[in-house]
Structure 1
Amino acid sequence: MTIGEKYLAKFEAFYLPFALDYAKRNHLNLCTIVDDITDTATEAGGKKKTWQKFLIPSYLMNEEGGNISVCYFDSDVMINPFGKNIFNYHVDGKFSIVSEVNGLPYNDFFTKKVLSFKRNKYYSNKYPLDSAIFMSPEQIYKYHGLEPFQDYACAGLFVCESVKDATVLKDGFYSYHKDVETITDGGDEPIFNYVIRKNLDVHNLGYEFQALWSMEMANKYSFLFDSDRFNSHIEAHCIASCLLSVSFLHFAGSWNDARLSENKEIYRIVSCQENQEFDLYMKKKPLGHPVGRILPS
């Protein structure tokens, strides 16, 4: 979903090539929604565009004329062309998301400390060292007056079945007016988490299906925060290396670290001939035949 010329241009330049390659390799259809799919004249309309993800299963079901499996991803999610087919890891009858709390490969507290410290030091001294980034799932739900749950997901990706989930999500959208207040400045994420956990059977996909670049950068590439020391070529290689180790990489947020994705060299690196050859090599099962001692010439 890329509603608005600015977002569409960015998606087409830096993200679409990856998504097209992934779709072709896995024989999937790709749909980009570029216009509003809601009646903005209603009180429920007029919210931030991201809220319209609630309406996508219903919209696609009507367009396709039947039940389909849907993988929604934000327009700032970069997909590894050689990554795993996400539908093979979705459980039929469930609503699949990626937890921001459970199953993480890194220490969550340490990661948020690094992010807060580095953004404050290198990007802006206005970035708070203590903020809502440290809220627990229970605190987030209670802040919004919602029944608390022990888990919380980034709302930038989910897999569902249109017939089973469309009504719940659509009702969730129309239950909140345009003046809704959230810790994401009127964004949908806290409400999205509550709606799916209250009404649907949620399944957690592995972290690799929505790795967060901010988390990756804080733990493996924290030197990139000091952007004056590194050129875009080095940044592109770091991001490409990271993307090739996961299936989906989300550049969430509006801080400088998220904008590192706006580099066309990343796609050239990821899709190079060597990586295509390595992908073929990965699919070959080794037999483990001993060949004797071999030394470099």
Structure 2
Amino acid sequence: MIQPGKSGNVLATIAIGDAYLEPFMKYAFHTWEMYCKRHDLGLILFDDHLIGQTHPDWKNPYWQKFLIGEALNKSKVKVNNVCCLDTDILISPLAPNIFVGRNEAKVGLISKRKNLPLEHHQLLRRMAFMRNRFYDKAYPLDSSLFISLSDLYTEAGLEIQPDDACSGVFVYNCITHGPLLADYYRSFGSEIMAQDGGGEQRFLNYFVQSQNLVEWLDYKFQALWTYEIASRYPFLYGEHRNNLNLMKSCIEASLFTNYFLHFAGSWHEGKMWEQVRVFDTSESLSMFSDFADYLNMPVFGKPLGQIKPKDL
């Protein structure tokens, strides 16, 4: 969709079918496009399976994320590093280049348990409570939402690892890691999709961490909206749930602080990005643009005397 620049670095995603492609193009693509143009990055979207559905190695598109590096290596497009993203991610106009300063020998992941804006267990408590209070009284206050690291891995027959990342964002070098991830994908049969709702997340975590390949990136590169709304905007659960203007303001406010905002999950919070279109006017972008300019302005901290608002 956007050719790689001189760096050879790209964002890549899989969006198969209108249920994924249409909301991405309507609500998220413009934020990715701005980011790529600002940092001279390519953008590649796979709108068909990376492996034939009749092939014995076929697995669902969640698992096919393991094949993106290999597919790029085989393509005519020269790609060095790739950031694989889920389609339900919005990118801030202020976001720095995720590829700058990285260790290309490692795979970049973002923890969903450590180095968070609020202690992990407290975030989960808030999430469970608010869902039960405002969404559905049947939502359990104690569930696998609170699963321990040891249970997370042992349930899948995997050796326990030190942390747990959300697989909506991961970054790696195509030449170094593309073949490794593809081989790992092929080490499983189709029966693996019967585990964990068909998802690949805990297996990606296990592989990258057990092989000592992990580089932990800043939470801001994958702020989870479920965490953000539970800790900063709890009023969006209740009486303001249908206030779309307020919802848009809160999402944009989160993107004023965070770089990538991921609307992961199947509950109502995870659908909010499809209800409003952020940064859709010059006015909504002006504060971000002006703040970016301000960040480049030197400050010296010289006293200017007492300053008060004129209307006080």
TM-score, normalised to structure 2, is: 0.89
Hey, what's the Cα distance between the residues in 1 that align with 2:251 and 2:300? 33
* Aligned counterpart for 1:124 among listed residues 99, 122, 136: 136
Please name the residue that 1:276 is paired with: 289
Does the 8 A contact of 1:44 with 1:175 survive in 2? no
Tell me whether 1:18 sits opposite 2:28 in the alignment.
no
Please name the residue that 1:166 is paired with: 178
Decide whether aligned partners of structure 1 residues 200 and 23 sit closer, same or farther in structure 2, where only a CA change above 3 A counts.
Answer: same
Does the 8 A contact of 1:69 with 1:162 survive in 2? yes
Please name the residue that 1:7 is paired with: 20
Does the 8 A contact of 2:93 with 2:289 survive in 1? no
Structure 1 gaps, min length 5: none
Decide whether aligned partners of structure 1 residues 66 and 267 sit closer, same or farther in structure 2, where only a CA change above 3 A counts.
Answer: closer
* Aligned counterpart for 1:195 among listed residues 207, 212, 217: 207
Decide whether aligned partners of structure 1 residues 294 and 111 sit closer, same or farther in structure 2, where only a CA change above 3 A counts.
Answer: closer
Per-residue CA shift, 1:185-227, capped at 9, x if unaligned? 1111111111222235110001111110101111111111115
Hey, what's the Cα distance between the residues in 2 that align with 1:67 and 1:244? 30
Superposition deviation, residue 139 in structure 1: 1.0
Tell me whether 1:40 sits opposite 2:53 in the alignment.
yes
Matched to 1:24, the amino acid is K
106-115 or 264-273, larger mean C-alpha shift: 264-273
Does the 8 A contact of 1:224 with 1:235 survive in 2? yes
Hey, what's the Cα distance between the residues in 2 that align with 1:90 and 1:265? 31
Hey, what's the Cα distance between the residues in 1 that align with 2:241 and 2:46? 38
Does the 8 A contact of 2:247 with 2:276 survive in 1? no
Hey, what's the Cα distance between the residues in 2 that align with 1:271 and 1:296? 25
Matched to 2:146, the amino acid is F
Matched to 1:32, the amino acid is L
Please name the residue that 1:153 is paired with: 165
Superposition deviation, residue 62 in structure 1: 1.3
Per-residue CA shift, 1:236-261, capped at 9, x if unaligned? 10111011101111100111011111
* Aligned counterpart for 2:190 among listed residues 178, 192, 200: 178
Per-residue CA shift, 1:9-48, capped at 9, x if unaligned? 0100111110001111111111111111113223331x33
Decide whether aligned partners of structure 1 residues 293 and 126 sit closer, same or farther in structure 2, where only a CA change above 3 A counts.
Answer: closer
Q: Identity percentage over the alignment?
A: 32
SS in 1 for 2:196: coil
Please name the residue that 1:29 is paired with: 42
Tell me whether 1:87 sits opposite 2:108 in the alignment.
no
Please name the residue that 2:256 is paired with: 244
Matched to 1:218, the amino acid is A
- Aligned ranges for residues 105-120 of structure 1 at < 5 Å? 105-120=117-132
Superposition deviation, residue 296 in structure 1: 3.4
Hey, what's the Cα distance between the residues in 2 that align with 1:285 and 1:95? 34
Superposition deviation, residue 293 in structure 1: 3.8
Per-residue CA shift, 1:56-107, capped at 9, x if unaligned? 0111111146561111111011111211111114212111100112212211
Decide whether aligned partners of structure 1 residues 295 and 223 sit closer, same or farther in structure 2, where only a CA change above 3 A counts.
Answer: closer
Hey, what's the Cα distance between the residues in 2 that align with 1:245 and 1:8? 27
Does the 8 A contact of 1:13 with 1:264 survive in 2? no
168-177 or 73-82, larger mean C-alpha shift: 168-177
Q: How many residues align?
A: 296
Tell me whether 1:68 sits opposite 2:80 in the alignment.
yes
Structure 2 gaps, min length 5: 1-13
SS in 1 for 2:44: coil
* Aligned counterpart for 2:266 among listed residues 239, 246, 254: 254
* Alignment RMSD (CA, Å): 1.9
Hey, what's the Cα distance between the residues in 1 that align with 2:284 and 2:211? 40
Matched to 1:242, the amino acid is S
SS in 2 for 1:96: strand
Hey, what's the Cα distance between the residues in 1 that align with 2:51 and 2:114? 33
TM-score, normalised to structure 1, is: 0.93
Hey, what's the Cα distance between the residues in 2 that align with 1:127 and 1:182? 24
Superposition deviation, residue 182 in structure 1: 5.9
Hey, what's the Cα distance between the residues in 2 that align with 1:183 and 1:116? 23
